[in-house]
Each structure stands twice: as structure tokens, then as C-alpha cells.
Amino acid sequence: MGKSDSLKDSMKGGLNGLLSSTTPSSIEDKPAKVTTEKETVVHCNFLINKSIHTRMKYLAIEKDMSLKDIVNEAMKEYLDKHEKK
């Protein structure tokens, strides 16, 4: 097997296949997380004011959340407040 074949085989495993630890791992495998049914996500492109975006980024950092989670939470609260029941 040549170098190119070895590289191709390593690339099949993605980035983890190309990189390996330099020290032996003594950490036991973590138990698998229970998968919960997730709602389908869609990609949205929209414009918001820079000041709002900046405030959301800082809030996401403060709450250790992703910007996506912040937007979803805010939209859910807004819709819950404004939807007719």
C-alpha cells in the first residue's frame, strides 16, 4: 500500500482519522447520550441590526449557549406571547 492509499483510507474517517493522540488515552468511554427526537431545522437568511446581534452574541457567551439557541428561545417567547390561543 502506498502513501496515497494510506491517505485515502485515513480520509474515510474524517479529520479524526487523520489526527491521532500522542499520548495514550486513559479516559473511559462516556456513556452514550439518550437521543431525543429533535425538531427539523431550517436555514434562514435575514438581516438584523448590528447592535441587536452584538447583544445576542454577548448573551450567548454569558449563558454558555449558541447564538442559534438564543434566537430560537427569543422567537419562541415572542410567538408564545403574540399567538392567538
Domain boundaries, the chain: 41-85
Provide the total of helices (H) and of strands (E) in the chain, helices listed first: 4, 0
Q: What is the CATH code for 41-85?
A: 1.10.1220
Q: What is the pTM for the complete model shown?
A: 0.52
- The tens digit of pLDDT for each residue in 23-33 reads 655 555 555 55
- The tens digit of pLDDT for each residue in 18-74 reads 565 566 555 555 555 556 678 899 999 999 999 999 999 999 999 999 999 999 999
Residues 6+ apart with CB under 8 A from 65: 59, 73
Q: How far is CA 41 from CA 15, 59, 68, 78, in A?
A: 25, 22, 11, 18
Instruction: Please provide residue 5's backbone torsions phi and psi, each rounded to the nearest 5 degrees.
Output: -65, -40
What is the rounded distance in angstroms from the CA atom of residue 70 to the CA atom of residue 26?
Answer: 36
